[in-house]
């Protein structure tokens, strides 16, 4: 029996489909799309459109946060060359989760979770630590999880194929996109700075 409301921070349709499958029977679930890290804006909008389709098909309430890439960029600026699973990502997780906690407080929702840990490229410990810190700060429970475990990532791929979702090939931020090209000038500079 569902009785508790949960606000689920979502990054894209392929990630939310599996996580929603796990949570929807136990919680009154609302999805919150807040991802100012996603670049370019066209990519942000493409992921949002896929989520709107998913929300309509599953009747999961979708709340859309403001797209403000400037504030996100300023928050990670000093760690832009640090790479995936670095301090840059920790700041990014906390930035997006904090907005989720703020929205949960406004809506009087008692639990926050995120789909981020379903990705094999994301550090669940880092995500959960950020969530727990914010839970203490806001007095709202954080649903700690590593959704990639027990073939969670594999299941998310299967479900997203059934829906025909667009699956992106990078995390979302411009830095992760540039890091996909290992021979780029960006990566050469990144590698040089990491050796210092």
Q: Tell me how far CA of residue 69 lies from CA of 30, 40, 106, 144, 148, in angstroms.
A: 23, 9, 22, 27, 27
| Neighbouring residues of 122: CB distance < 8 A, sequence distance ≥ 6 | 85, 89, 116, 148, 171
| Extents of the domains making up the chain | 4-195
Across the chain, what does the average pLDDT equal? 92
Distance of CA 99 to the CA centre of its chain: 12
pTM of the model: 0.92
| Neighbouring residues of 54: CB distance < 8 A, sequence distance ≥ 6 | 13, 16, 17, 60, 163, 165
CB burial of residue 148 (10 Å; 0-12, 13-18, 19+): buried
pLDDT of residue 1: 40
Most distant CA atoms of the chain, gap in Å? 55
Q: What is the pLDDT of residues 86-114, one digit of tens each?
A: 999 999 999 999 999 999 999 999 999 99
- Look at domain 4-195 and name its CATH class: alpha beta
Q: Tell me how far CA of residue 187 lies from CA of 70, 100, 120, 193, in angstroms.
A: 23, 32, 21, 10
CA-closest candidate to residue 155, choices 6, 21, 8: 21
- The model's confidence at residue 196, banded by pLDDT at 50, 70 and 90, is low
Q: What is the pLDDT of residues 1-58, one digit of tens each?
A: 456 999 999 999 999 999 999 999 999 999 999 999 999 999 999 999 999 999 999 9
| Contact predicate 96/34, CB 8 Å | yes
And the tokens for 132?
A: 């727990």
């Amino acid at each position: 029996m569902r009785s508790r409301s949960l606000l689920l921070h979502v990054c894209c349709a392929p990630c939310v489909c599996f996580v929603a499958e796990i949570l929807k029977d136990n919680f009154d679930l609302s999805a919150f799309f807040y991802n100012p890290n996603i670049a370019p804006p066209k990519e942000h909008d493409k992921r949002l459109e896929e989520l709107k389709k998913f929300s309509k098909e599953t009747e999961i309430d979708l709340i859309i946060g403001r797209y403000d890439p400037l504030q996100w960029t300023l928050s990670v600026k000093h760690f832009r060359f640090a790479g995936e699973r670095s301090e840059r990502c920790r700041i990014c997780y906390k930035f997006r989760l904090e907005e989720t906690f703020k929205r949960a407080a406004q809506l009087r929702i008692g639990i926050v979770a995120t789909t981020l840990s379903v990705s094999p490229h994301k550090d669940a410990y880092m995500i959960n630590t950020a969530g727990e810190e914010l839970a203490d700060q806001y007095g709202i429970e954080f649903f700690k999880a590593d959704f990639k475990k027990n073939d969670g990532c594999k299941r998310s791929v299967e479900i997203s194929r059934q829906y025909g979702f667009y699956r992106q090939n990078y995390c979302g931020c411009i830095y992760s996109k540039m890091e996909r090209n290992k021979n780029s000038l960006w990566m050469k500079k990144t590698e040089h700075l990491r050796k210092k």
